[in-house]
Amino acid sequence: MGVSESGVSGPRRRLVMGNWKMHGNLAGNAALLAGLRAGVDSVGNCEVAVCSPFPYLAQVQSILQGSAISWGAQDLSVHAQGAYTGEVSGAMLGDFACRWVLAGHSERRALHGETDQLVADKAAAALAAGLVPVVCVGETLDEQEAGRTDEVIARQLAPVLALGAQAVGQIVLAYEPVWAIGTGRTATPDQAQEVHAGIRALLSALGVPGVRVLYGGSVKAANAASLFAMPDIDGALVGGASLVAEEFLRIAAA
């Protein structure tokens, strides 16, 4: 299991990743994955991935293996093994050939009280297991309206950046303004670019400017091209639209 291309110098290859959240069933997943597999060759030079709920990882692996689509999970434990009922380790994800794992999605932070330090610890656990963590950051509506976006992002990233350049160079970041997730509201391309540029400056200061930074928050085929036109937006972490094969593939092709 290799690391991401994040830290590689030169052009950053676009990555479009679907986050199914707590959606799916065996029959519906089979149809969705078959549609993705059938159409992925039409999206051009874009890396495509899906992150499914834990119970469906075996199904995802079975249907997507040998295709151009990679897959991953939505969370992992900081622990490698032990008496942690209900937790799933990085090594377990590796058994299903996962490449990716989300860490610190805003729903985990809000609903499960995940702290910035815990998210960094999960990223470190993912790297130790040979997985690529996709670390999510983003501000709430109150924080955005108070002009605190840069402050909040810097705070969330601080313990991740403290892992050091070698580790961070293997990570993917995802900026997801909480106020735009599942609300139909989307940051304008210029708003998103401004935040991505700030993240890029933090990465450059650490010596890893090539880390990929995705945008998430009500991404659709209709707005994907304008977002991807921004110089520091390297792709998308897609929620609801990733549950419709045609829409998700149109985003990847944008």
For 131, which DSSP code? -
* Burial bucket for residue 50 (CB in 10 Å: 0-12, 13-18, 19+): buried
> In Å, what is the CA distance from 224 to each residue of 44, 106, 216?
15, 21, 10
Residues noted as catalytic: 105, 176
Residue 15: beta bridge partners?
47, 235
* Burial bucket for residue 11 (CB in 10 Å: 0-12, 13-18, 19+): exposed
Q: Are 43 and 238 spatial neighbours (Cβ–Cβ below 8 Å)?
A: no
Counting every residue, how long is the chain?
254
Q: Are 219 and 254 spatial neighbours (Cβ–Cβ below 8 Å)?
A: no
- CA dist., res. 50 & res. 5, Å (int): 17
